[in-house]
Amino acid sequence: MTNKIVFFDIDGTLLDHQKKIPAGTMLAIKELQERNVPIAIATGRAPFMFHYLLEELGINGFVSFNGQYVSYENQSVYENPLEETFLHELVIRSKEHDHPMVFLNTETGRTTHNAHPHVQKSMDDLKLVHPQHDPEFYRGRKIFQALLYCETGEKEKLYRNTYNDFNFIRWHQYSMDVLPKTGSKAIGIEKMIAHLGYHQEDVVAFGDGLNDLEMLEFAGTGIAMGNSKEPAKRVADFVTKEVDDDGIRHGLKKIGLIG
């Protein structure tokens, strides 16, 4: 296996449950780089949320917003923002039900509610600060992903059963990612490998969440972390150990990319 490119999810994959990079993961990535194996990040996060990881790990390519913005060596490779007209309709519905939203572009995020506890909880879990209040931020800007804050059950169905132009992916007990219907990490990866001259069978992908399903299915080798959601484990080629038990190193050794 000499012509591979490896994509890593962040939360629960590169980062453990304390949002730290395990020592074994650092060593595994260093060994990949010493062997000249290209590495990229594939995440639901916005770029401004993980620039520090790119610098710390020496990575120069990423698929962000669950595939809606792809960059390599500081150059945009692919962009797929949310359609403002459809987003406006969603904003109106969310206001009617007092469900906060967060709008994300490559540089920052803004929220429709000021200091909402559900937004605060989700940001705390990511070790991020509560976004500033600007309910009109989505107008006239490229918004690549939105966060919609509602709990599961009937409240969630208000949106899933109404807005066919979006994908809603649950990532937190209080929040769903809002993506274009055509968007996924798999599409973002496909755009990057086309740009770099790799093929689908060359792709190795590590993930753990519901937003990783398409990526794990698309990859030539899809590897689910031991701490993954069950649907991710089912679509992966195999399941490695958990993130805090050298899961990445174990997976890379199993497929022969490191020693």
User: What does the block give as tokens for 28?
Assistant: 């595994």
What architecture is domain 5-79+183-254? 3-Layer(aba) Sandwich (3.40)
Q: Which pLDDT belongs to residue 155?
A: 86
| pLDDT at residue 238 is higher than 70 | yes
| pLDDT at residue 254 is higher than 80 | yes
- Secondary structure of the chain in HEC code, one letter for each residue: CCCCEEEECCECCCECCCCCCCHHHHHHHHHHHHCCCCEEEECCCCHHHCHHHHHHHCCCEEEEHHHCEEEECCEEEEECCCCHHHHHHHHHHHHHCCCCEEEECCCCEEECCCCCHHHHHHHHHCCCCCCEECCCCCCCCCCCEEEEECCCCHHHHHHHCCCCCEEEEEEECCEEEEEECCCCHHHHHHHHHHHHCCCHHHEEEEECCHHHHHHHHHCCEEEECCCCCHHHHHHCCEECCCHHHCHHHHHHHHCCCCC
| pLDDT at residue 154 is higher than 90 | no
CA dist 58 and 201 (Å) reads 24
Instruction: Look at phi and psi of residue 74 and say left if phi exceeds 0, alpha if psi is from -120 to 50, else beta.
Output: left
Q: Which pLDDT belongs to residue 2?
A: 60
Count of CB atoms within 10 A of residue 143's CB? 23
| pLDDT at residue 1 is higher than 70 | no
166, 179 Cβ separation under 8 angstroms: yes
The residue behind tokens 């030539």 is: 220
- Rounded to 10°, the helix 247-254/23-34 angle is 30
CB-side neighbour CA atoms (13 Å) of 42: 33
Per residue in 47-73, pLDDT (tens digit) is 999 999 999 999 999 999 999 999 999
What architecture is domain 84-180? 2-Layer Sandwich (3.30)
Is 9 considered catalytic here? yes
78-90 average pLDDT score? 97
Task: Indicate where the chain has its CATH 3.40.50.1000 domain(s).
Answer: 5-79+183-254
| pLDDT at residue 102 is higher than 90 | yes
| Predicted model pTM | 0.93
Per residue in 173-231, pLDDT (tens digit) is 999 999 999 889 999 999 999 999 999 999 999 999 999 999 999 999 999 999 999 99
From 9, 11, 16, 208, active-site residue: 9
Task: Indicate where the chain has its CATH 3.30.1240.10 domain(s).
Answer: 84-180
